[in-house]
Structure 1
Amino acid sequence: MGEKRVVPGPLKKTLEWDVKMTDKAVKMFDQKYGPLSKYNSIFKGLEISCHGIPWLIVTATFIFLLDSSPFRNLMVNIFLVLIFDIIVVAVVKAIARRRRPERNQNDEMIGSFSVDKFSFPSGHCTRAVMLSLLLPLKYDLFFWFSPVLAGWGAAVSISRVLLHRHHILDVIGGTVIGILQAMLYSLTWLSDESAQGLVNFFLDETQVGASYDV
């Protein structure tokens, strides 16, 4: 058994403050809008809407079923950025190793990985913020839905606290990481030709030699 990690004094005080502020925020919402249980189905819906596994399954399905098209290439980029997000969040959680709030219930829709017992940062938050910024930035069609995407990202982030999944600083950290990921991946976004070449490499043996560039 390894020794228990010692948390530095200033960080420990910050985390304790975060726990108190999170509890106050939840109680304030409860007092103003009524028992949280009334909104549980909404919060769970938001949780499902940004769960990484369904997103991966849906995007992979579209990539496999669609012929060459801009929409298929969009799915390729989304799939890659989702993988990138999962890796980043898993690494940060493994390093931070912050426990989830005591009131968290292990009832998420799909079985969680071992790192999901950790709380910082919120993976739902990184994903929601990243996608709500990245999609309008790269596709004009999504630009007109920017307010809707921003509202969705904000709602997902807030719901993580109200569902007792995360503390406030977990959500703030997730927001910062999501913004940085959107900025980084916007610079490495695959062109239509590159995305199609990548699909050909994995799904079409007759075009394995198709060239693609970032």
Structure 2
Amino acid sequence: MKSNQMSPVLKSILEKDVKLTDRFVTFLLQFASFKSLKIHCKFLEVSCDGIAWLCTWIAFIWLLNSRDLYQMQVNMLIGLLLDILIVAVLKAFVRRRRPVAATDMLTIGPDKFSFPSGHASRAFYVLIFFTKLHSLPIIFWMPITAWAVSVVLSRLILKRHYILDVCAGALIGVIEALFIGLIWLSEDSAASIVGFLAEDKAFSEPN
């Protein structure tokens, strides 16, 4: 969004966001634990990449081919697709530029833009999905929460996003998970979708 098209209030908010982000990241990097996080930022970026999640999840459905898992798998897949769509539309509409030109990441189309953070939305969608919708054993809750929070912080440390970007992204991810909970597909519906997409009776009705 061009500065001459912004209202004075919005321009002021964005300017404060830039300054607050710089101060916050500088503050974080004073601590050894966050300095060590910086080493793993690139791994965290890849671990929450939208295309990587989508392709891996489709392969997960295909390779396991288990009717017992279809309900969880399909509902998660719907949320991942919804997340990619919502984030892409919002980025294309808002068109806020990233903090710095990223030379080590793919920046095509809406992904050139910063608001909202797709990594933050996806991380928090996955977090809520596996702790509230299809709960993993509680022993996994702390690791997945630590991963989601680390992904969000890594977006700031890598200078991919501002604080408003990641906060909005996290909120979107939570709302997406709540929406998936409202439209949660039954086991039969999920199996029907897998069978339809695969166009293979053997795939949709495993032994």
TM-score range for the pair, normalised by the shorter chain length:
0.7 to 0.9
Residue in structure 2 matched with residue 90 of structure 1 by the alignment: 88
Question: Residues 5, 192 of structure 1: CA spacing in aligned structure 2 closer, same or farther, 3 A cutoff?
Answer: farther
C-alpha distance in 1 between matches for 2:149 and 2:135: 21
The SS at the match of 1:31 is coil
5 Å matches for 1:82-121? 82-102=80-100, 104-108=101-105, 111-121=106-116
Q: Is the 8 A contact 1:59 1:76 kept in 2?
A: no
Match of 1:183 among 178, 182, 185: 178
Residue in structure 1 matched with residue 66 of structure 2 by the alignment: 68
Percent identity between the aligned chains?
38
TM superposition shift of 1:55: 0.8
C-alpha distance in 1 between matches for 2:114 and 2:135: 34
Residue in structure 1 matched with residue 79 of structure 2 by the alignment: 81
Question: Residues 74, 131 of structure 1: CA spacing in aligned structure 2 closer, same or farther, 3 A cutoff?
Answer: same
- Which contiguous aligned blocks of 4+ residues in structure 1 show a shift greater than 6 angstroms? none
The AA in structure 2 aligned to 1:31 is Q
Q: Is the 8 A contact 2:119 2:152 kept in 1?
A: yes
5 Å matches for 1:163-182? 163-182=158-177
Measured on the aligned residues, the alpha-carbon RMSD in Å equals: 2.6
Q: Is the 8 A contact 1:96 1:120 kept in 2?
A: yes
Give the TM-score taking structure 1 as reference length.
Answer: 0.85
Q: Is the 8 A contact 1:133 1:182 kept in 2?
A: yes
User: Residue 14 in 1 paired to residue 13 in 2?
Assistant: yes
Residue in structure 2 matched with residue 24 of structure 1 by the alignment: 23
TM superposition shift of 1:188: 1.1
C-alpha distance in 1 between matches for 2:181 and 2:162: 29
Whose RCO is larger (CA < 8 A, sep 6+)? 2
| More displaced stretch, 115-124 vs 198-207 | 198-207
User: Residue 145 in 1 paired to residue 140 in 2?
Assistant: yes
The SS at the match of 1:115 is helix
The AA in structure 2 aligned to 1:12 is K
C-alpha distance in 2 between matches for 1:145 and 1:34: 21
Residue in structure 2 matched with residue 160 of structure 1 by the alignment: 155
Structure 1 segments unaligned to the other structure (5+ residues) = none
Q: Is the 8 A contact 2:129 2:135 kept in 1?
A: no
Question: Residues 63, 11 of structure 1: CA spacing in aligned structure 2 closer, same or farther, 3 A cutoff?
Answer: same
Residue in structure 2 matched with residue 198 of structure 1 by the alignment: 193
CA deviations over 1:18-57 (Å, ceiling 9, x no partner): 0001111122223343995x64431111111111111111
TM superposition shift of 1:137: 1.4
TM superposition shift of 1:118: 0.5
Question: Residues 197, 149 of structure 1: CA spacing in aligned structure 2 closer, same or farther, 3 A cutoff?
Answer: same
TM superposition shift of 1:142: 4.5
The AA in structure 2 aligned to 1:194 is S
Match of 1:47 among 14, 27, 45: 45
Q: Is the 8 A contact 1:134 1:182 kept in 2?
A: yes
The SS at the match of 2:136 is helix
The SS at the match of 1:145 is helix
Structure 2 segments unaligned to the other structure (5+ residues) = none
Give the TM-score taking structure 2 as reference length.
Answer: 0.88
